[in-house]
């Protein structure tokens, strides 16, 4: 496999994967920072409408913060092959983790749901809609789940490569309005979050089979929640409501996933500082009154993880 030597100012180390938009490489900045660089496919690069939309979506994606996303650090929409660089987040995807370890229990599902809700709140707060939330786009990092590829799906969705009325996204995670090729908003991401939780519980909200069959079931049939722990079924069912207006917002989901979270205790009150007059020094220092300085051993090396 022939790797590009550089992409922009980043030295390419290896390929991480490929998808609908293009190829993702692990690369390193001149200062030693690891980044994931996604390069558009040649047919996308030749589409001026894609470049225009890509430029707008990258500008919006740069503003997304939050604890559960991979921040955009660089991009070049005008390169021969447009590319986008995000901070590299080591860890398996949710789909790989589930394949290796099996379904999650209720506590882990609640934690996953809360993390994804926070990520969606940050994404939607910047005027973006993810449009392709699925286990393969979620990295299970050491400090919690991270959502990848936010905002970029819109650029791909809006090109001439996507026929009018054709759904963009992943069958099984598409909201009914998205499966029918209609305009979508953040409620479509909430629907996908519900389908992700069903998958993390070991099930499949709309079964298996052909993409068209799964999309038909997402539009016309109720989701299969048999694998979801009983205590979580009401909130997952709400996420998977057919009507967008009936789905909870990401902010409301946080209360549903972690209803018992106690508020932080108030800061302790302290009495104001009172000046204390020190006692007068002795008129002389007795012999050996001052012991030698205390010898403190040097701390052991403990490099910080990153």
Query: Domains of the chain by range and CATH?
Result: 9-87 (3.30.200.20), 94-257 (1.10.510.10)
- Residue 121, judged by CB atoms within 10 A of its CB (0-12, 13-18, 19+), counts as middle
Alpha helix positions (H), the chain: 42-45, 48-61, 94-101, 106-125, 152-157, 176-179, 186-200, 211-220, 233-239, 250-257
Residues of the chain with pLDDT under 70: 1, 20, 150-168, 260-306
Here the tokens at position 101 are: 């370890």
Stretch (H or E) spanning 25: strand 22-28
Strand order from edge to edge, sheet including 83-87: 6-7, 10-18, 22-28, 34-40, 83-87, 72-76
Q: How far is CA 136 from CA 55, 93, 110, 140, in A?
A: 24, 6, 19, 10
Q: Which of 47, 76, 132, 189 is catalytic?
A: 132
Query: What integer pLDDT is reported at residue 181 of this predicted model?
Result: 85
**66, 50 contact by CB (below 8 A):** no
Stretch (H or E) spanning 140: strand 138-141
Is residue 73 classed as helix, strand or coil in its secondary structure? strand
The pairs formed by 2-10 with CB atoms below 8 angstroms and a separation of 24 or more are 4/39, 7/37, 7/39, 7/83, 7/85, 8/37, 8/74, 8/76, 8/79, 8/83, 8/85, 9/74, 10/35, 10/37, 10/74, 10/85
pTM of the model: 0.77
Query: What integer pLDDT is reported at residue 168 of this predicted model?
Result: 64
Name residue, tokens 């992700």.
196
Query: What integer pLDDT is reported at residue 204 of this predicted model?
Result: 96
- What's the DSSP call for residue 244? G
Catalytic residue status for 74: no
Query: What integer pLDDT is reported at residue 72 of this predicted model?
Result: 87
Query: What integer pLDDT is reported at residue 41 of this predicted model?
Result: 85
């Amino acid at each position: 496999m022939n790797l590009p030597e550089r992409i922009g100012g980043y030295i390419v180390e290896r390929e991480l994967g490929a998808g609908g938009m293009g190829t993702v490489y692990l690369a390193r900045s001149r200062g030693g920072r690891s980044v994931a660089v996604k390069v558009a496919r040649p047919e996308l690069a030749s589409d001026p409408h894609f470049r225009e939309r890509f430029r707008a979506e990258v500008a919006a994606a740069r503003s997304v913060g939050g604890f559960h996303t991979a921040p955009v650090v660089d991009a070049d929409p005008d390169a021969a092959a447009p590319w986008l660089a995000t901070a590299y987040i080591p860890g398996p995807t949710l789909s790989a983790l589930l394949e290796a370890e099996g379904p999650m229990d209720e506590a882990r599902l609640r934690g996953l749901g809360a993390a994804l809700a926070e990520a969606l709140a940050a994404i939607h707060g910047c005027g973006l809609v993810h449009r392709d939330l699925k286990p393969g786009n979620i990295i299970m990092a050491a400090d919690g789940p991270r959502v990848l590829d936010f905002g970029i799906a819109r650029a791909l969705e809006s090109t001439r490569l996507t026929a009018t009325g054709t759904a963009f996204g992943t069958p099984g995670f598409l909201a009914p309005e998205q499966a029918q090729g209609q305009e979508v908003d953040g409620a479509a991401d909430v629907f996908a979050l519900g389908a992700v939780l069903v998958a993390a519980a070991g099930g499949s909200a709309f079964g298996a089979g052909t993409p068209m069959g799964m999309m038909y079931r997402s539009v016309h049939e109720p989701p299969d929640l048999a694998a979801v722990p009983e205590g979580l079924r009401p909130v997952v069912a709400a996420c998977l409501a057919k009507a967008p207006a009936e789905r909870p917002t990401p902010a409301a989901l946080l209360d549903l996933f972690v209803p018992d979270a106690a508020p932080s205790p108030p800061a302790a009150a302290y009495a104001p500082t009172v000046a204390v007059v020190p006692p007068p020094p002795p008129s002389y220092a007795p012999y050996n009154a001052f012991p030698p300085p205390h010898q403190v051993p040097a701390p052991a090396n403990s490099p910080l993880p990153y």
